[in-house]
Structure 1
Amino acid sequence: MSNGFLSQEEINALLNGEGSQEEEEKKEATDTELPELPDLTDLEKDLLGEVGNISMGSASTALSTIINQQVNITTPVVSVTTLERLKDSFEIPNIALEVKYTSGIVGENLLVMKIDDAAVISNLMMGGNGIVEGEIKELSEIEISAVSEAMNQMIGSAATSMATMFAREVNISPPLSKIWSDLTAPLAEGISDDEPVVLVSFSLNIGELVDSNIMQLLPMKTAKKIVAIMMGEESMDEPSVENNSTPAPIVEEKKSAKAVEAPKQEIVYEKPIEREAPKVEVKQASFEPLSVRESATTMPNNIDLILDVPLQISVVLGRTKMNVKDILNLGNGSLIELDKLAEEPVEIQVNGKKVAYGEVVVVDENFGVRITNIVSSQERIKSLGK
Structure 2
Amino acid sequence: MNQMTDKLLNQDEIDVLLGDNSQESEEVEILSDIEKDALGEIGNISMGTAATTLFTLLGQKVTITTPRVTVTTIKELGELYNIPFVAIDVRYKMGLEGMNLLIMKIEDVKIIADLMMGGEGRDVSGDITEIDLSAIGEAMNQMVGSGCTSLSEMFGTMIDIEPPRSFEISLQDNKLDIFESEEKIVKVSFRMVVGDLIDSEMMQLIPLNFAQEMVTKLLKADGDKIESNKSEGANMNNNDNEIKNKTEYKEVSSGNMQNIAQNSEIHRKMQQETVTVKNLEFEQFENIEEPKYNESIDIIQEIPVEITVQLGRTMRKIGEILEYGPGTIIELDKVLGEPLDVFANGKFIAKGEVVVIEDNFGVRITEIVSPSKRINRK
Q: TM-score range by the shorter chain?
A: 0.5 to 0.7
Residue in structure 2 matching 1:179, options 168, 189, 197: 168
Distance 1:132 1:89, change over 3 A: farther
Please tell me whether residue 152 in structure 1 is matched to residue 141 in structure 2.
Answer: yes
Q: Which residue of the partner structure matches residue 360 of structure 2?
A: none
Residue in structure 1 matching 2:202, options 208, 214, 217: 214
Q: State the secondary structure of the residue aligned to 1:130.
A: coil
Mind listing any 5+ residue stretches in structure 2 that lack a counterpart?
A: 1-9, 234-283, 293-345, 348-375
Residue in structure 1 matching 2:120, options 126, 129, 135: 129
Kindly provide the CA deviation profile for residues 216-262 of structure 1, in whole angstroms up to 9, marking residues without a partner as x. 111111111111112117989xxxxxxxxxxxxxxxxxxxxxxxxxx
The residue type paired with residue 57 of structure 1 is G
1:162/1:170 contact within 8 Å kept: yes
Q: State the secondary structure of the residue aligned to 2:181.
A: coil
The residue type paired with residue 128 of structure 2 is L
Q: Which residue of the partner structure matches residue 80 of structure 1?
A: 71
Q: What's the Cα RMSD here?
A: 4.2
The residue type paired with residue 207 of structure 1 is G
Cα deviation for residue 132 of structure 1 reads: 3.1
Q: How does the TM-score come out when normalised to structure 2? A: 0.53
The residue type paired with residue 202 of structure 1 is F
Kindly provide the CA deviation profile for residues 192-238 of structure 1, in whole angstroms up to 9, marking residues without a partner as x. 221111111111010111111211111111111111112117989xx
Cα deviation for residue 39 of structure 1 reads: 3.1
Aligned mates of 2:98, 2:173 — CA distance in 1: 24
1:111/1:214 contact within 8 Å kept: yes
Q: Which residue of the partner structure matches residue 192 of structure 1?
A: 180
Q: Which residue of the partner structure matches residue 374 of structure 1?
A: none
Distance 1:80 1:200, change over 3 A: same
The residue type paired with residue 153 of structure 1 is Q
Cα deviation for residue 97 of structure 1 reads: 0.8
Cα deviation for residue 108 of structure 1 reads: 1.8
Cα deviation for residue 338 of structure 1 reads: 11
Question: Percent sequence identity over matched residues?
Answer: 40
Kindly provide the CA deviation profile for residues 44-88 of structure 1, in whole angstroms up to 9, marking residues without a partner as x. 111111110000111111111111111111221111111111111
Compare 225-234 and 212-221 and name the one that shifted more: 225-234
Q: How does the TM-score come out when normalised to structure 1? A: 0.52
Aligned mates of 2:166, 2:124 — CA distance in 1: 24
Distance 1:208 1:232, change over 3 A: same
Aligned mates of 2:168, 2:131 — CA distance in 1: 13
Aligned mates of 1:174, 1:80 — CA distance in 2: 27
Mind listing any 5+ residue stretches in structure 1 that lack a counterpart?
A: 1-21, 237-299, 307-320, 327-335, 340-358, 361-369, 371-386
Distance 1:133 1:218, change over 3 A: closer
Q: Which residue of the partner structure matches residue 95 of structure 2?
A: 104
Distance 1:69 1:234, change over 3 A: closer
Q: Which residue of the partner structure matches residue 211 of structure 2?
A: 223
Kindly provide the CA deviation profile for residues 162-190 of structure 1, in whole angstroms up to 9, marking residues without a partner as x. 11110101122332211113621424x33
- Alignment length, in residue pairs? 235
Please tell me whether residue 50 in structure 1 is matched to residue 60 in structure 2.
Answer: no
